[in-house]
Amino acid sequence: MTESDRVAVIGASMTQFGQREEWIQELLAEAGLDCLEDAGVDADEIEHLYVSNMTSGEFEGMTGVMNALAHDIGALPAYTQRVDQTSSSGGAGIYAAWQSIQSGASEMTLLVGGEKMTHRTTGEATDIIASITHPVEYTAGVTLPSFAGLTARHYLERFDAPRESLAKVASKNHRNGVDNPHAQFQKEVDVETILDSPIVADPLRLYDFCPITDGSAAMLFCPESVAQEYTDEYAIVAGVDGATDTHVVHEREDPTVMGGVVESGQGAYEMSGYGPEDVDVAELHDMFTILEFLQMEGLGFAEQGEAWELVEEGYTERDGELPVNTSGGLKSKGHPLGASGVAQGVEIYEQLVGEAGDRQVEADVGLCCNVGGFGNCVITTIMEAAR
Amino acid sequence: MTMEATRYDDGTISYPGHPRSRNGAEPVGTIDLSEHTAEVVTWTTSTATPPGIREPNHLAIVEFDVGEVVEDGETSVRALVQLTDGDIETGDEVEPVYTEKLREPGAGIREPDSQDWDGYRFEPV
């Protein structure tokens, strides 16, 4: 790493998301090997290997997944580390990979995020994810979807936003997912169907929520000077930052503001020199439709209480001013916890190097925001096309 | 049984309590919220509940006005609570009703001995 070097991304991959027969070890290896092939890099060149994963122990009884992956793909004796930051483990993995290159500790870092979830019932999966909550929240039986219901009602009542605006987020992201061959759901869902679907956490309904998903995604990082030995088509990590909000969700001063989104966004903007007006495409953590509004506002794409108006205007459509979740988002693509933040990075990378296929938009600068818990931990990453 | 909020040296109040306030201040006392009514800030009815929880589960974020028992600093504190039923509106005044078991210990992933399982549900005054 020379003084003028920047951190580059030279390869990316994601497995098919959805209900998979493979277990975590196989899913991680699949994405990792595909990523190395995409970049034309041999496994023995990897110096650091990070695995973003939240719950392989709880879901599958499998721990030490980073060690297993290094062995399975032939990356020994690379330094390995598992990165757990709940649902933002993938974003935290990007931050860790960036640090490893930026610090000079590694000249080739592979990041693989993955989760195996669908073999559990919805109740069991919901409970495992809700184990992040404080005892007073856990005793009350709060789940991440019920946090979303509480917040959505508050947002709609306070800002006089129509219920349909949330359904339009889901409909848009499903429409985008049709063109993502790796997405769990590749079908359009109209607003009426969303509004008629069963209530899960009033006022939110089934289609306001992402599915339970198996899958894995990977990115390969190195100094820009090394990237140029392999390819002319790469992306640069221009800015990345992470921040933490309260563990107890109701202790936040304003239920419609995610402090971690605001803080990490400001840090990423400052590092990159870009502002919200410079972002051409964004992947936001739409685990629940209401989160897309909160992140648009927290990241400065909209004033507080006004994101719903932009969605109504088509501002966030693929052909809009700021395409949001061109991948289909977590909503349509799926949400295999530890993989999701990495998959956001994969989408932005593909958009910047022109490999997004039918989802391609014109983009020189892309942003991804990966949310852990209900805004408890957040990582925002800004990437730019190499030039 | 009490429902104790914690007051800190910097004038802030939190429920539940923490070893330090969000600003790093030390605790200086407690307030028993079970002796107060509260106002519903927002609510939801969850139909997809985890193991050991009633279905449906009615939940709310409520705000207690504790101005009568504090001399300075913050005068309100919020809590996430179960409601007795879903017949509720934002802005309703609610009061606590002791409940021996809010959730079945051991039914979920959390270790039964690691926390309490009784507490208060809230219903309209």
Q: Which chain A residue shows the shortest CA-CA distance from B3?
A: A136
Mean pLDDT of residues grouped by 10 in chain A (387 residues)?
86 98 98 98 98 97 98 98 98 98 98 98 94 97 97 98 98 98 98 98 98 98 97 97 98 97 98 98 98 98 98 98 98 98 98 98 98 98 94
> Which pLDDT value is given to residue B51?
94
pLDDT 10s digits, B1-60: 899 999 999 999 999 999 999 999 999 999 999 999 999 999 999 998 999 999 999 999
Contact B78 A250 (CB under 8 A): yes
Contact B109 A131 (CB under 8 A): yes
> Which pLDDT value is given to residue A2?
74
Q: Which chain B residue shows the shortest CA-CA distance from A135?
A: B115
Among B22, B59, B115, whose Cβ lies nearest the Cβ of A142? B59
Contact A143 B60 (CB under 8 A): no
- Cα–Cα distance for residue pair A242/A174, rounded to 1 Å: 28
> Which pLDDT value is given to residue A195?
98
- Cα–Cα distance for residue pair A339/A336, rounded to 1 Å: 5
Chain B CB within 8 Å of residue A251 CB: yes
Residues 6+ apart with CB under 8 A from A213: A17, A18, A19, A115, A117, A118, A184, A334, A335, A336
Strands B76-83 and A377-385: unpaired
Using a CB-CB cut-off of 8 Å, the residues of chain A touching B48 are: 122-123, 126, 143, 145, 200-201
Architecture, CATH, for domain A7-120+212-230: 3-Layer(aba) Sandwich (3.40)
Token pair belonging to A173: 């992201």
Helix ranges, chain A (H): 24-39, 56-60, 65-72, 89-102, 122-130, 135-140, 144-159, 163-177, 191-196, 224-230, 259-272, 289-298, 307-313, 329-333, 337-353
Compute the nearest-CA separation of A140 from chain B (Å).
Answer: 6
Tell me how far apart the terminal alpha carbons of chain B are, to the nearest angstrom.
20
Chain B CB within 8 Å of residue A140 CB: yes
Residues 6+ apart with CB under 8 A from B10: B21, B23, B24, B25, B73
Using a CB-CB cut-off of 8 Å, the residues of chain A touching B79 are: 136, 250
Size of interface A-B (CB pairs under 8 A): 129
Let me know: does A52 contact A92? Beta carbons within 8 Å.
Answer: yes
User: B43: burial class by Cβ within 10 Å (0-12, 13-18, 19+)?
Assistant: buried
- Cα–Cα distance for residue pair A363/A279, rounded to 1 Å: 8
Phi, psi of A253 (to 5 degrees): -60, -40
> Which pLDDT value is given to residue A3?
65
> Which pLDDT value is given to residue A104?
96
Contact A201 B48 (CB under 8 A): yes
Contact B48 A140 (CB under 8 A): no
Contact B115 A139 (CB under 8 A): yes
Q: Which chain B residue shows the shortest CA-CA distance from A154?
A: B42
- Cα–Cα distance for residue pair B96/B119, rounded to 1 Å: 9
Domain ranges of chain A: 7-120+212-230
pTM over 0.90: yes
Among A130, A149, A248, whose Cβ lies nearest the Cβ of B16? A248
Token pair belonging to A223: 């100094």
Judged by DSSP in three states, A75 sits in: coil
Instruction: Please tell me the total count of domains within chain B.
Output: 1
> Which pLDDT value is given to residue A1?
74
Let me know: does A19 contact A118? Beta carbons within 8 Å.
Answer: yes
Using a CB-CB cut-off of 8 Å, the residues of chain A touching B110 are: 131, 135, 138
Using a CB-CB cut-off of 8 Å, the residues of chain A touching B86 are: 202
- The owner of tokens 């009884």 is A61
pLDDT 10s digits, B46-104: 998 999 999 999 999 999 999 999 988 999 999 999 999 999 999 999 999 999 999 99
- Cα–Cα distance for residue pair A300/A280, rounded to 1 Å: 13
> Which pLDDT value is given to residue A387?
73
- The owner of tokens 């039914």 is B107
Using a CB-CB cut-off of 8 Å, the residues of chain A touching B44 are: 146, 149-150, 153, 201-204
Contact B82 A200 (CB under 8 A): no
- Cα–Cα distance for residue pair A115/A65, rounded to 1 Å: 11
Q: What angle (nearest 5°) sits at the alpha carbon of residue A177, between those of residues A169 and A301?
A: 40
Domain limits for position B110: 4-124
Using a CB-CB cut-off of 8 Å, the residues of chain A touching B50 are: 123-124, 126-127, 130, 141, 143
- ipTM for the whole complex: 0.97
Phi, psi of A262 (to 5 degrees): -60, -50
> Which pLDDT value is given to residue A270?
98
> Which pLDDT value is given to residue A369?
98
Best mutation target among A133, A136, A206, A244 (most B Cβ atoms within 10 Å) is A136
- Cα–Cα distance for residue pair A107/A227, rounded to 1 Å: 10
Other Cβ atoms less than 10 A from the Cβ of A348: the count is: 30
Q: Which chain A residue shows the shortest CA-CA distance from B79?
A: A250
Contact B46 A122 (CB under 8 A): no
Residues 6+ apart with CB under 8 A from A267: A239, A241, A242, A243, A380
Using a CB-CB cut-off of 8 Å, the residues of chain A touching B52 are: 141
Residues 6+ apart with CB under 8 A from B48: A122, A123, A126, A143, A145, A200, A201
Scanning A43-72 for CB atoms below 8 A from B yields 58
